[in-house]
Amino acid sequence: MEYIKLAEELEKTTSDEVEQTVKSIISDVRSGGDAAVKVYEEKFGNSVRPVRVSEEEIDHCMKTLPDNVKVLIDRVVDRVSDFAQAQLDCLSPFEKEFGEGIRMGHRIVPVEKIGAYVPGGRFPLLSSGPMVVAPAKVAGAKRIVACSPANYEGGIHPAVLYGLIRSGATDIFAIGGAQAIAAMAYGTESIPEVDVISGPGNRFVAEAKRQVFGKVGIDLIAGPSEVLVFADDTASSRKIAADLLAQAEHDPYARAILVTTSRTIAENTIKEINELLPNFSPSSPAHESWAKRGEVIYAESLEEGLEICNDYAIEHLHLHIKNSRDLMDRLTNYGSLFINEDSSVVFSDKVSGTNHTLPTQKAARYSGGLWVGSYLKVITHQEITGEGVQFLASHAEDQSEIEGLEGHKLSATVRLS
């Protein structure tokens, strides 16, 4: 393994200052409700509008958003919903007998109230709302509260708003940042308290989700975008360069990494990026992302390359390798896998149907991404009768005696014949 381009030392995405700022925001919103939310909206978002998106705003959006944009968003909603439904169809409740008189099983029940955070960001990302909201709708959530910053002409960008409406959001609020997470976690006079909060966001949003976890559930804490392209000597350096830069433009902290078994591909990809990058807008995050966090790694063998991929546990793992499907079973740590060079990560970012809210910062070692199951509870039940009571009570009585638990023993003993 050899670093042909090595990233600078990676900075912590959450500093002590961010942690303390978020802690203060959550405390203020928890005690101050709507008034505190409005203070922070004015401070961080320059917004003085009502927090709830009105029916008039929704009606105006539905009437004025161009039809061609609606078609694109409708397609995203349909594809994300279809994939979520297919995942849901794979999940089954069950009940069976585990010995005479012992019946046990589980049910699959939707979480009732969902908080969906949809970032405003530098660009209006048309897929972000459907990715977070549509699976909740498919899961059967009764209430879906969506928050997105009011950073477009005093409100939510019409395309983002339309996506939230079409995906099934029941309540929409034009607020962002840690104050939005706090408001959904604890509730205010206007904003309902929810059970689970999901969706990506900046480091303040991610830190707020971390701090409210326990009071509410969360999907995952997602950091800046990551992509690792694994390539052999059959790959196209041009396509690799394009795929790396596509993720690098998400954020200055994004990570774009190439691992290849070919020195030629490594060198040619760097040349391609050096040719393509000057054509990007000077304000594009891709410049800083590639310069400071981009990496190119030469692997001496396919086996070493596979080890590197599993060790990085990357958000997006893209295989630019001949017969890449043959490698699937040997790759275990990734948020989402893209098989063959033409399965662009961009397709998943936009419209293919798999979710683009995925684990980063090596969280793929123990977690997958947002999916319909993020909004479901698998809850168990049991019914003990007849001989089952006698068998389990006898065991529980003996075990409780050893453990010194008098109440447990009593509860078992009173059921013995």
Enzyme catalytic residues:
315-316
Q: Can you tell me the distance from the alpha carbon of 139 to that of 318, in angstroms, rounded to the nearest whole number?
A: 29
Q: Which amino acid is at 318?
A: H
**Alpha-carbon span 269 to 271, nearest angstrom:** 5
For residue 255, which of 223, 232, 215 has the smallest C-alpha distance? 223
- Check residue 318 and report its DSSP letter: E
Q: For 170-225, list the strands marked E by DSSP.
A: 171-173, 196-198, 217-218
Residues 6+ apart with CB under 8 A from 87: 371, 372, 373
Residues 71 and 84: their CA atoms lie apart, in Å, by: 20
Quick one: DSSP state of residue 52?
B
Distance separating alpha carbons of residues 214 and 83, to the nearest angstrom: 29
**Is the C-alpha dihedral spanning 337, 338, 344, 347 positive or negative?**
negative
The DSSP string of 143-184 is: EEEEE----BTTB--HHHHHHHHHHT-SEEE---HHHHHHHH
Residue 211 DSSP SS3: helix
Contact between 290 and 5 (Cβ < 8 Å)? no
286-293 and 237-248 helices cross at what angle (nearest 10)?
Answer: 110
- The CA distance from 132 to 128, in Å, is 7
Query: What dihedral angle (degrees, nearest 10) is formed by the CA atoms of 323, 326, 327, 329?
Result: 160
Burial (0-12, 13-18, 19+ Cβ within 10 Å), 155: buried
